[in-house]
Chains A and B, each alone.
Chain A
Amino acid sequence: AQSVSQHNHHVILSEAASLELGCNYSYGGTVNLFWYVQYPGQHLQLLLKYFSGDPLVKGIKGFEAEFIKSKFSFNLRKPSVQWSDTAEYFCAGRDNAGNMLTFGGGTRLMVKP
């Protein structure tokens, strides 16, 4: 079955620390992968997506993610976090043919000022 998993449920960092949030997927065939962010009290916003091509994807707000096919991973990174990055982050995937997104469990990030 298709699934997406996020291993870190809660992450607490100090400002300027580097961030890496794990995401693993189990899909056969071609996969589309996404990272969404949900700031407190707001809707989910798309941070970045991977469909094909360069496995290193750059998104908004200084985030990037790397698709590593051999590891079935799509980890999210940011070299230096800010207090305003405090939010919940969701990894999601779908097969190339479909519409339906499968979400990971989410990672709640708190950045201490």
Chain B
Amino acid sequence: GAVVSQHPSWVICKSGTSVKIECRSLDFQATTMFWYRQFPKQSLMLMATSNEGSKATYEQGVEKDKFLINHASLTLSTLTVTSAHPEDSSFYICSASQNIGGNIQYFGAGTRLSVL
């Protein structure tokens, strides 16, 4: 089946630093990638949707200057949390889909971000 790899799985950083999270589709070309945030004991909340080669579409309430998304190729999207603060600590999950087979989203394992 389709595999989505997310790296790193856990990152701890100091407040004020920037953190980059990578999302790769390993065995398929992902025309669309999605970034979610999951708070403890809550569901996934969509942050943004990105198509390869174009700007990401952010959901209401998500700061595009804080959460920079780059979808430079059909197999890689990155999320950069800029000037991270403790309230940005969360679980970030990416998913990828291709324009065939019903646009099924395949999920990465997630990245736990802890900002001290």
Q: Answer yes or no: do A and B interact.
A: yes
On whether the beta carbons of A43 and B49 are closer than 8 Å, the reply is no
How many A-B residue contacts, CB cutoff 8 Å?
A: 42
On whether the beta carbons of A43 and B109 are closer than 8 Å, the reply is yes
Q: How many residues of chain B are within 8 Å of chain A by beta carbon?
A: 22
On whether the beta carbons of B43 and A100 are closer than 8 Å, the reply is no
* A99 CA to B31 CA, complexed, in Å: 11
Q: Which of A44, A99, A102 is close to B32, meaning CB atoms less than 8 Å apart?
A: A99
Q: Which residues in A have their C-beta under 8 angstroms from that of B106?
A: 46
Q: Which residue of A lies closest to B94 (CB)?
A: A43
Q: Which residue of A lies closest to B31 (CB)?
A: A99
Q: Tell me the dominant secondary structure on chain B's binding face.
A: strand
On whether the beta carbons of B49 and A100 are closer than 8 Å, the reply is yes
Min CB distance, B24 to chain A, in Å? 13
Stretch binding the partner chain, chosen from A18-26, A63-71, A78-86, A103-111: A103-111
On whether the beta carbons of A90 and B107 are closer than 8 Å, the reply is no
**Chain A interface (Cβ within 8 Å of chain B)?**
32, 36, 42-46, 49, 51, 90, 99-106
